[in-house]
Structure 1
Amino acid sequence: MNRANALAVMTLALLLGACGSDEHDFEQTLGPAPELPEPERGVLPSMTIAEPAPWGEQKPSVPQGYSVTAIATDLKIPRQTLVLPNGDILVAEGRGGNAAKLKPKDVIAGYIKASGNTKVKGGDRLTLLRDADGDGRYELQTVFADELNAPYGLALHESSLYVANQDALLRFDYREGQTEASGPPNKVADLPAEINHHWTKALTISEDGRLLYVGIGSNSNITERGMAAEVDRAMIWQIDAATGAYKPYATGLRNPMALAIQPGSGQLWAVVNERDELGENLVPDYLTSVREGGFYGWPYSYWGQNLDPRVRPQDPAKVASAIAPDYSLGAHVAALGLDFSTAAMGEAFAEGVFVGEHGSWNREQPVGYKVVFVPFRDGRPAGPPQDFVTGFRSADGTTRGRPVGVTVDPRGALIVADDLANTLWRVTPTP
């Protein structure tokens, strides 16, 4: 969006009134049983444009007993990462979507988000980092594969490396230790890519390597383009790795941005970005286990059977079947990263998940812009989210970074992709 359009949208939002919920505390909307406010209609979102600023000599903040280091600082829009068996790190870099095809009414509806974004051109590639001597410095940085189409999700099983482009699921042959792809990838399956209001394709793989799970976002906020534009969208696909055959695994998830398999149980989990324009504290982005055949509400309802008053016609039978998510992360935090922790991350953060929160664009008081830890007990979320990596956004409104993917290195490190500073951060327990 050019500056004139951005100013016009903000002016209109101010004239109509900010969608605030001052009487309702954001903290009340967090956790497994959030207290949700009433929806607010007839107003545009408050639009907070982050002012990008360089990190300089500064770093993100981490808990006492941990340290953080930038291990790559010149990437081209890093999104998700994958730690390979030998400790190498793969980084998916790129920017997708077809924003040029959006109509003016889409801009007014807030679909082009005014937020701090890098000016760097997306790499459309995978970059490999290697720390050969184990000292925490990744002295090798090389392109593993290029000429991709907005790669996002990554997964590995034995000799098969999977990459989810915005339009296709690909497979590379992989040999441990190689620093570049040995040849072009094979296409496993096509993925929906028309218009691509939500272009990212999250990815994970079953423990036995037979099944792939791909998160596919909706093509609108709440079906403004009609249901025909939503075919095979707002859902998680299950894809047979051998044949490429796919089926809907779970539906009604507006924009599943990151997927992970829970170690031991094999349970699929997701973080999902919910709809906009119902107020500053609606609708919560969430963390949830994903049931096969489950329906999670979009577009008809949110957080179980809470009807979205804007959606017509309604579908009472679908609403009655809607599953409430497991855990609210709060509205508009833009949860984009997810991974399960291990004991190597320290006792306080040994059992649970890390979630990368890219940060809000449509709240008067911004939220997100950090990595949180959601503690688990007996395999389920238990307790409030805990800040783990913060400092990406300052109190004065400047924004130095925006976390996306988070990946736990089994040897004891959290890898955080920052797509504003084009940096990869590594957080480790200090001896």
Structure 2
Amino acid sequence: MTRSHLLVLAAVTAGMSACGSDAGPATYGSDPTLPERERGLLPSMTIADPGEWGDARPTVPDGYEITAIATDLEVPRQTLVLPNGDILVAEGKGGGDAPKERPKDVIAGYIKAKGTTSVQGGDRLTLLRDADGDGTYEGRHVFAENLNAPYGLALVGDDLYVANQDALVRFDYREGQTRASGEPETVTRLPSEINHHWTKALTASEDGRFLYVGIGSNSNITERGMAAEVDRAMIWEVDAESGRHRPYATGLRNPTALTIRPESGELWAVVNERDELGENLVPDYLTSVREGGFYGWPYSYWGQHVDPRVRPQDPDRVASAIAPDYALGAHVAALGVDFSSPAMGAQFAEGAFVGEHGSWNREEPAGYRVVFVPFRNGRPSGEPVDFVTGFMDDDTTRGRPVGVTVDPRGALIVADDLSNTIWRVAPVR
């Protein structure tokens, strides 16, 4: 079998499979038209089987070239371009402790595992160096190891911050070093019980005073109870000096990547929304994040669209829910975001790149690409533009993009955690 469908289960339980076999159009944009909810005994679940790149490469627009600058990594997730041009790569695979309480959880776990690498997470940071600036990263060093599923990265002056799955930590950093000078200092502990969503996204305010940490929910839609969701589905604001923290924004089911828009200093996020409401619900999204804002989870989605599965309901919270800025499409699993710069070329100068890891909750897969969301007057404007594609070919997936980072010298760095590759996309000079 070339795709991991629920064929055996469907044969045994005829008529009980998920609704929504018609994948329908993509749901994206600033004002998406949302379809009706669709529910069945089980949601659609499909993951294409992994394959090798061989001599193939992902596809990029005319006038751009893509290069594999590092291979054979150990589950690369997010990257950080340092001031001297070195690239730090966070390698790790977390979670795994969430109990599977329903038959769907067991089946979904099997399906999802089919689309992931068999490599164990490195629990480390790897540093890549291009000493002569020719786009070839001939230097490779283990910068730090024995971490706990590191994910988010941020540099503020001489402080390098790493968001492990259980703690925000800090290393001393000096430009040019290839190895951490000592053990990390814990800034603050992060919620890690159950860890249904384990990734901890990270970015820093422009002045470096605050760190923002994305913390995903402990369930799809509170099926583990609200007690499991304390300090979950939100973005923390952490005082970089003291480690004191507070909720900055709430109701974001799984904020998987954070960044600051340079022109305004605004915090932006990509968020993975809830599953099991149909192939075209609910769209994952890109949004600015308002201080004190509530974004709906679990009670509603895309503003005031009530999710009837949640008990008890909370009409007051629903009334306050903010609709996101831009829908990316249902189940694309956006895991990376960064704003562009003019060095990326005129067509891609103003907007945000988004890494879409790819769906499991659709019959027809979605995502598996890097898109560019064009901006105008500080807000998303227009359709998403394919920037890196070709990760999926018919029934085979060769790669799955995660973090995306713009190198100010004019390149997009893409982490691929299926083929364990770091890709570099740059204009042809």
TM category (shorter chain) comes to over 0.9
Alpha-carbon distance in structure 1 between the residues aligned to 2:13 and 2:405:
37
1:308 corresponds in structure 2 to 307
Q: Which amino acid aligns with 2:426?
A: T
Alpha-carbon distance in structure 2 between the residues aligned to 1:342 and 1:393:
28
Query: For 1:198-240, what per-residue CA distance to the aligned partner results, in whole angstroms no more than 9, with x for missing partners?
Result: 0000000001110000000000000001000000000000000
Query: For 1:336-360, what per-residue CA distance to the aligned partner results, in whole angstroms no more than 9, with x for missing partners?
Result: 0000000000000000000000000
Q: Name which of structure 1's ranges 62-71 and 91-100 shifts more when overlaid on structure 2.
A: 91-100
Alpha-carbon distance in structure 2 between the residues aligned to 1:265 and 1:199:
30
Alpha-carbon distance in structure 2 between the residues aligned to 1:13 and 1:211:
52
Query: For 1:306-335, what per-residue CA distance to the aligned partner results, in whole angstroms no more than 9, with x for missing partners?
Result: 000111110000000000000000000000
Alpha-carbon distance in structure 2 between the residues aligned to 1:242 and 1:232:
21
2:230 corresponds in structure 1 to 231
2:404 corresponds in structure 1 to 406
Q: Rate the CA distance shift 1:276–1:109 in 2: closer, same or farther, 3 A.
A: farther
Q: Rate the CA distance shift 1:5–1:63 in 2: closer, same or farther, 3 A.
A: closer
Is this contact kept in 1: 2:252–2:297, CA < 8 A? yes
Do structure 1's residue 132 and structure 2's residue 131 form an aligned pair?
yes
1:39 corresponds in structure 2 to 37
Query: For 1:51-92, what per-residue CA distance to the aligned partner results, in whole angstroms no more than 9, with x for missing partners?
Result: 110000000000000000000011000000000000000000
Q: Secondary structure at the match of 1:26?
A: coil
Is this contact kept in 1: 2:256–2:272, CA < 8 A? yes
Q: Secondary structure at the match of 2:392?
A: coil
2:413 corresponds in structure 1 to 415
Do structure 1's residue 218 and structure 2's residue 178 form an aligned pair?
no
* Displacement of 1:11: 5.9
Counterparts of 1:105-184 in structure 2, within 5 Å, are: 105=103, 107-108=105-106, 110=108, 113-114=111-112, 115-184=114-183
Alpha-carbon distance in structure 2 between the residues aligned to 1:332 and 1:13:
25
Alpha-carbon distance in structure 2 between the residues aligned to 1:285 and 1:372:
13
Q: Secondary structure at the match of 1:232?
A: coil
Q: Rate the CA distance shift 1:145–1:312 in 2: closer, same or farther, 3 A.
A: same
Alpha-carbon distance in structure 2 between the residues aligned to 1:206 and 1:106:
40
Alpha-carbon distance in structure 2 between the residues aligned to 1:242 and 1:223:
34
Q: Name which of structure 1's ranges 96-105 and 321-330 shifts more when overlaid on structure 2.
A: 96-105
Residue of 96, 101, 104 corresponding to 1:103: 101
Is this contact kept in 2: 1:45–1:110, CA < 8 A? no
* Displacement of 1:46: 1.3
2:16 corresponds in structure 1 to 16
1:72 corresponds in structure 2 to 70
Q: Secondary structure at the match of 1:425?
A: strand
Alpha-carbon distance in structure 2 between the residues aligned to 1:293 and 1:424:
36
Is this contact kept in 2: 1:349–1:373, CA < 8 A? yes
Q: Rate the CA distance shift 1:412–1:104 in 2: closer, same or farther, 3 A.
A: same
Q: Rate the CA distance shift 1:185–1:329 in 2: closer, same or farther, 3 A.
A: same
Counterparts of 1:285-324 in structure 2, within 5 Å, are: 285-324=284-323
* Displacement of 1:105: 4.2
Alpha-carbon distance in structure 2 between the residues aligned to 1:278 and 1:294:
24
Alpha-carbon distance in structure 2 between the residues aligned to 1:329 and 1:14:
33
Identity of aligned residues (%): 73
Q: Which amino acid aligns with 1:339?
A: D
Which segments of 5 or more consecutive residues in structure 2 lack a partner in the other structure? none
Q: Rate the CA distance shift 1:326–1:50 in 2: closer, same or farther, 3 A.
A: same
Q: Secondary structure at the match of 1:276?
A: coil
Q: Name which of structure 1's ranges 255-264 and 110-119 shifts more when overlaid on structure 2.
A: 110-119
Q: Which amino acid aligns with 1:199?
A: W
Q: Which amino acid aligns with 1:62?
A: V
Q: Secondary structure at the match of 2:30?
A: coil
Alpha-carbon distance in structure 1 between the residues aligned to 2:105 and 2:78:
27
Is this contact kept in 1: 2:21–2:363, CA < 8 A? no
Alpha-carbon distance in structure 2 between the residues aligned to 1:12 and 1:245:
53
1:188 corresponds in structure 2 to 187
* Displacement of 1:21: 5.8
Do structure 1's residue 332 and structure 2's residue 331 form an aligned pair?
yes
2:248 corresponds in structure 1 to 249
* Displacement of 1:14: 6.8
Is this contact kept in 1: 2:170–2:185, CA < 8 A? yes
Alpha-carbon distance in structure 2 between the residues aligned to 1:89 and 1:108:
37
Alpha-carbon distance in structure 2 between the residues aligned to 1:410 and 1:93:
23
Which segments of 5 or more consecutive residues in structure 1 lack a partner in the other structure? none
Counterparts of 1:271-290 in structure 2, within 5 Å, are: 271-290=270-289
Alpha-carbon distance in structure 1 between the residues aligned to 2:312 and 2:352:
37
Is this contact kept in 2: 1:14–1:46, CA < 8 A? no
Q: Which amino acid aligns with 1:289?
A: S
* Displacement of 1:104: 4.7
Query: For 1:20-50, what per-residue CA distance to the aligned partner results, in whole angstroms no more than 9, with x for missing partners?
Result: 263x7323x2100101111012331211122
Alpha-carbon distance in structure 1 between the residues aligned to 2:13 and 2:248:
38
Query: For 1:173-219, what per-residue CA distance to the aligned partner results, in whole angstroms no more than 9, with x for missing partners?
Result: 00000000000000000000001000000000001110000000000
Alpha-carbon distance in structure 2 between the residues aligned to 1:55 and 1:165:
30
Is this contact kept in 2: 1:359–1:367, CA < 8 A? yes
Q: Which amino acid aligns with 2:170?
A: R
Is this contact kept in 2: 1:236–1:256, CA < 8 A? yes
* Displacement of 1:102: 3.1
Q: Rate the CA distance shift 1:301–1:391 in 2: closer, same or farther, 3 A.
A: same
Query: For 1:259-290, what per-residue CA distance to the aligned partner results, in whole angstroms no more than 9, with x for missing partners?
Result: 00000211000000000000000000000000
* Displacement of 1:7: 7.0
Query: For 1:235-266, what per-residue CA distance to the aligned partner results, in whole angstroms no more than 9, with x for missing partners?
Result: 00000000000000000000000000000211
1:389 corresponds in structure 2 to 388
Alpha-carbon distance in structure 2 between the residues aligned to 1:105 and 1:312:
21
